[in-house]
Structure 1
Amino acid sequence: MRITETAVPDAYRIDPDLLPDHRGRFYEGLRYETLRAATGHAFELRQVNFTVSHRNVLRGIHGTTMPPGQGKIISCVRGAALTMVVDLRLGSPAFGQHDVLRQDPDSATALYLPDGLGLAYVALADDTCMNYLCDREYVHGTIIDVDAFDPALGLPWNLDEPVVRSARDAAAPTLAEAVAGGILPAYEQCRRSYRVPQAPAP
């Protein structure tokens, strides 16, 4: 697999090697040591989530407070999505910057997001299913919401039809309002949370 850093520091794109044969195909979606070597982060699975969305459903921007944080690896297992990663870490040299990628089962491209980065995506097809591998269990009340249409962010959704959002997403604060509300995590705190595995005992 190829693991490359996105335009948002510490967020990585994962492109697996697809191995087809007469039965279909096989690919490795994740290798712990390969991801650790490429990113310097230790990702340990603690929770698995799925979302299923109609076409033009837009979810996000969502992040997680620190603590507890929640790193994620996101892939599209059915349908297709236009996915955005946004740096929500106060003090980050890339604060407010974004990157965009298309995700679908044909490419099997995944996105690794550690603590402090926000996620948003719009479903490009009905019955789009997104899979989340999470390194911590969800704690109620820790989700950070930021408006996906905040003009200061300028996310390139390139939409020609109205989107469907939850009431919560539609009422989410702008990035500036989130800063003023004191809800965003600090860059250095997030960086310290990217866990490095301990050496095995002799």
Structure 2
Amino acid sequence: MSNNPVRLIYPKRHGDARGWFTEVYSVPVFEALGITCTFVQDNHSLSAPAYTLRGLHFQRPPHGQDKLVRCVRGRIFDVAVDIREGSPTYGKWVGAELSADNGHQLFVPVGFAHGFVTLEDDCEVSYKCSDIYTPECDGGIRWNDAQIKIDWAMPAGTIPELSGKDAVQPLLADFDSPFAYDGRPLEPLA
């Protein structure tokens, strides 16, 4: 299990008349931030309609995944939920807007469920994972669980576009967590 914190990352952009350049991942930079995992898989998704919601997802051990998430087209609201058994912040969440314009990234460690909602049409999200996708370890929590109370940054009354799987994920109360608390509570994003 990872002992990395949930972190909002602000890569520097170097711009001129041509546009900008940014370094989105560097081992020494991330190690200085306390993020020490090794990424082995990159994923990329397109969500055509605004208010497409993907999540809340995770992978169980032995194939738990740290994720480094960024929005490369459009805007999303990205969320991490603490699902580590015994954590004082179990069931609590943090979220941030990630966009192609702001270039921010969210690091979501093993032991946290991850999800996002698109805030406009045609959003593309790219994320790195520290383990390969393993279907038998795939898991999730219901996106609208009243115990977690995520404010998804959608207009009141909006019904998000969901996959069939995400519409019927279990509630947190029915979830038996395989993730142990590592001594680091979830902290607000800086």
1:4-83 to structure 2, matched below 5 A, reads 10-39=5-34, 41-54=35-48, 55-83=50-78
Q: For 1:179-198, what per-residue CA distance to the aligned partner results, in whole angstroms no more than 9, with x for missing partners?
A: xxx2442224x98xxxxxxx
Q: Gaps (5+ residues) in structure 1?
A: 1-8, 192-202
Normalised by the size of structure 1, how large is the TM-score?
Answer: 0.83
Q: For 1:36-78, what per-residue CA distance to the aligned partner results, in whole angstroms no more than 9, with x for missing partners?
A: 1221x42222111011112111000111102121111000000
Give 1:86 shift: 0.6
Contact in 1 for aligned 2:63/2:132 (Cα 8 Å): no
Q: For 1:122-147, what per-residue CA distance to the aligned partner results, in whole angstroms no more than 9, with x for missing partners?
A: 01111101001111111122121101
Establish whether residue 164 from structure 1 lines up as the match of residue 158 from structure 2.
no
Contact in 1 for aligned 2:41/2:130 (Cα 8 Å): yes
Aligned counterparts of 1:78 and 1:170: Cα–Cα separation in 2: 25
> SS at the partner of 1:141?
helix
User: Who is 2:92 aligned against?
Assistant: 97
Matched AA of 1:17: K
User: Who is 2:188 aligned against?
Assistant: none
Q: Gaps (5+ residues) in structure 2?
A: 185-190
Aligned counterparts of 1:157 and 1:72: Cα–Cα separation in 2: 20
The structure with the larger Rg is 1
> SS at the partner of 2:80?
strand
Question: Which of the residues 124, 128, 133 maps onto 2:128?
Answer: 133
Aligned counterparts of 1:38 and 1:159: Cα–Cα separation in 2: 31
User: Who is 1:195 aligned against?
Assistant: none
- May I ask how many residue pairs the two structures share in their alignment? 178
Normalised by the size of structure 2, how large is the TM-score?
Answer: 0.88
Segments ≥4 residues shifted beyond 6 Å: none
> SS at the partner of 2:174?
helix
Contact in 2 for aligned 1:144/1:183 (Cα 8 Å): no
Question: Which of the residues 79, 82, 87 maps onto 2:82?
Answer: 87
TM-align CA RMSD: 1.7
Aligned counterparts of 1:159 and 1:75: Cα–Cα separation in 2: 19
Contact in 1 for aligned 2:84/2:177 (Cα 8 Å): no
> SS at the partner of 1:13?
strand
Aligned counterparts of 1:11 and 1:100: Cα–Cα separation in 2: 10
Contact in 1 for aligned 2:85/2:177 (Cα 8 Å): no
Aligned counterparts of 1:66 and 1:37: Cα–Cα separation in 2: 26
Q: For 1:137-180, what per-residue CA distance to the aligned partner results, in whole angstroms no more than 9, with x for missing partners?
A: 111221211011001101011423211101111001111111xx
User: Who is 2:140 aligned against?
Assistant: 145
Contact in 2 for aligned 1:144/1:184 (Cα 8 Å): no
Matched AA of 2:81: V
User: Who is 1:154 aligned against?
Assistant: 149
